[in-house]
Structure 1
Amino acid sequence: MDFTDRTEAGRRLAAALTGAGTLAQDAVVVALPRGGVPVAVEVAAALDAPLDVCVIRKVGVPGQPEVAMGAVGEDGTRVVNQTVVDAAGVTPEQFAAVEAHERAELARRAAAYREGREPVPLAGRTVVVVDDGVATGSTALAACRLVRARGAARVVLAVPVAPYDWTSRLAGAADAFVAVHTPSQFLAVGEFYRDFRQVEDAEVLTALERAGRSRPVVVGEHELAFPTGPAAIAVPEHPVGVVLFAHGSGSGRGSPRNRRVAARLHREGLATVLFDLLTPHEAEDRRKVFDPGLLGGRLSEATRTVRRHPPLTGLPFGYFGASTGAAAALWAAAERDAEPGAVVSRGGRPDLARARLPLVTAPTLLIVGGADQEVVELNRQARSELRCESALQIVPGAGHLFEEPGALEAVADLAAQWFARHLAAGRQGGDRARH
């Protein structure tokens, strides 16, 4: 199982991390430069988390620099792999000479990468340490020690590929370990990448600069109480609109997929509201899961509550519906006093709201996986009954849950563009009306 390149590996690692459900909302992603940075960029974007670097240098065996006999890091962190040192017959003087050389290079790179910026504060937070792979584990161990020394409350070590026994080798280094691939036959990290070219310093600097620019400043992360449970609200600094997520199975608030899409919407200046349309007990009743009137009515009630919430008052709003939640979104959008600015359906069942489709006036985007043929046809039929602006986007090769590499990212991009286009236009119109 190979990765095309570090970017694709990062997307697959992000999917594994969100699926594991081990991360707190205040997570920080820390990359090991240089190779770990392109991987970490994708992880940080998917988690909507700040990105920083943890500068570590491998201390290689003299004459075999690719074989790590230890590692050194910022703040004086030092790891010695005594097994390798003894096997290679390295003397203390030889180790000290290589270490001194690597520390000089470490200082140069740390200064270049940070460009005078202070490191992202880690105290009390969950820190995800990311590299492009683990071989001996010396650099990963040094990185974990470094972030713990900086006050990390919890450390998650995450890589696209590692040997099958990596967790036992690094036991105690991190609180959790996540890898996409753990092969039994392992020679080097590079053998699992089709493109494993060296990452240059300029690429690291560009990635860090872009990550800093694209991360939204969140001025409000809090909850509202709904009859079905709490709603998680995230509000960027200058929101242009708000999107309510509707999921028919009752897993809207806790869905890793919804959180990944929400993170992408935040980068467009869109606030998000994640909540459950059903209580856990109700979600066990399949009749309620497929009842668009019940789900749509609850979405309408939630919308009224959200629009009265001070940070969101006056903002144009839209609905993002998944599965039977798409029917709920369209049902609610057809209410006379609704007036949403846009609707997006992901792998949805708009056919369940067939009776109300001709009444929907909000621009509606239907997104379906190409491999989900039955649902593709249902969405085609539903679109033919819409009388509003609409579009059908098929993600090639994707199944119903969009678990394939890059599939959910395609959904998030399509949704972000649709909402940004229609809700931003609604905000501008509202601003003109107020003036």
Structure 2
Amino acid sequence: MHRHAFSEHPIRFRDRAHAGRILAQNLDRFTVHDRDLLVLALPRGGVPVGVQVAEYLSASLDVITVRKVGVPWRPELAAAAIADDVLVRNEDVIRKARIDPVALRDAIARERIELRRRNLAYRADRPPAPVRDKTVIVVDDGIATAATMRAALAALRTLGAAELVAAVPVGPADTLADLRTEVEVVCPSSVTHFYGVGASYDHFDQLSDDDVRLSLAGARRHRYPGS
């Protein structure tokens, strides 16, 4: 059975760093002695949250870049997703939506181009952190539909992660409850009447690729174990 950390009382966060510090305190079972621990942040908004989590846990930090390929008339519904070099196809969705194979192939190709651009922007020539046999905490600044989080988790399972944890400061109670049937979920603020991730933050600025690079560079200077 998974252990789930939830709060029934919504929390107001000053900014993503504040949210990351609160989230980190809910991850106490992961100790500094766990050298197989890796924090992966979903850019862009998950990175400043992940920085705080990785610092608190003395863990290595990297990003996991995910591109969702949505059904054309329902873009929030993922027909496939790409994370680093892994393609995850949702065969059930593809079949039921009767997506044309050529159209799907072209859409995947377009998303691969954007994924490569983002990987180059965030990592330069550094390879992705290895995840095989590691405990991986996947961090974002919040969950709405959980589509991106699910895509990241599916890719990490394919890559051989030993244990997966979805960790977010805030999300809708029903979506979180659904997600926790699949994976361990840590979320300090479960919201019944959900109006979007940004509604729980006083400051929820849009982040740039430069912001992500600066955050990752600062985290690497901490020299977390295994980094």
> Match of 1:75, as an amino acid?
D
Structure 2, unpaired ranges of 5+: 1-10
**Mapping for residues 93-104 of structure 1, pairs under 5 Å:** 96-104=105-113
Deviations 1:30-64 (A, max 9, x none): 01111110110010011010101111023356588
Is residue 2:161 matched to residue 1:149?
Answer: no
Partner of residue 48, structure 2: 38
CA–CA distance in structure 2, aligned partners of residues 109 and 170 of structure 1:
27
1:96/1:2 CA distance change after superposition, 3 Å: farther
CA–CA distance in structure 1, aligned partners of residues 15 and 41 of structure 2:
16
Write 1 or 2 for the structure with the bigger share of helix.
1
CA–CA distance in structure 2, aligned partners of residues 119 and 109 of structure 1:
12
Deviations 1:142-169 (A, max 9, x none): 1112222222111111001111123442
1:48/1:94 CA distance change after superposition, 3 Å: same
Partner-residue secondary structure (3-state), 2:127: coil
Deviations 1:85-140 (A, max 9, x none): 97xx7854665554432221011111222211122222222111101111111111
Of stretches 97-106 and 55-64 in structure 1, the one that deviates more from structure 2 is 55-64
Aligned equivalent of 2:187, options 174, 179, 188: 179
Partner-residue secondary structure (3-state), 1:139: helix
CA–CA distance in structure 2, aligned partners of residues 4 and 82 of structure 1:
40
Q: CA deviation at 1:22?
A: 5.0
> Match of 1:202, as an amino acid?
D
Q: Which has the higher contact order (CA 8 A, sep 6+)?
A: 2
Aligned equivalent of 1:105, options 114, 122, 136: 114
Partner-residue secondary structure (3-state), 2:26: helix
Partner of residue 29, structure 1: 39
Residues 161 and 182 of structure 1 are in contact (CA less than 8 Å); yes or no, is this contact kept in structure 2? yes
Between Structure 1 and Structure 2, whose CA radius of gyration is higher? 1
Residues 30 and 57 of structure 2 are in contact (CA less than 8 Å); yes or no, is this contact kept in structure 1? no
Please, what TM-score do these two structures have when normalized by structure 1?
0.44
1:196/1:98 CA distance change after superposition, 3 Å: farther
Of stretches 187-196 and 3-12 in structure 1, the one that deviates more from structure 2 is 187-196
Please, what TM-score do these two structures have when normalized by structure 2?
0.80
> Match of 2:205, as an amino acid?
R
Among all aligned residue pairs of Structure 1 and Structure 2, give the percentage whose two residues are the same amino acid. 40
Aligned equivalent of 1:194, options 199, 202, 208: 202
> Match of 1:44, as an amino acid?
A
Aligned residue pairs, count: 211
Is residue 2:128 matched to residue 1:119?
Answer: yes
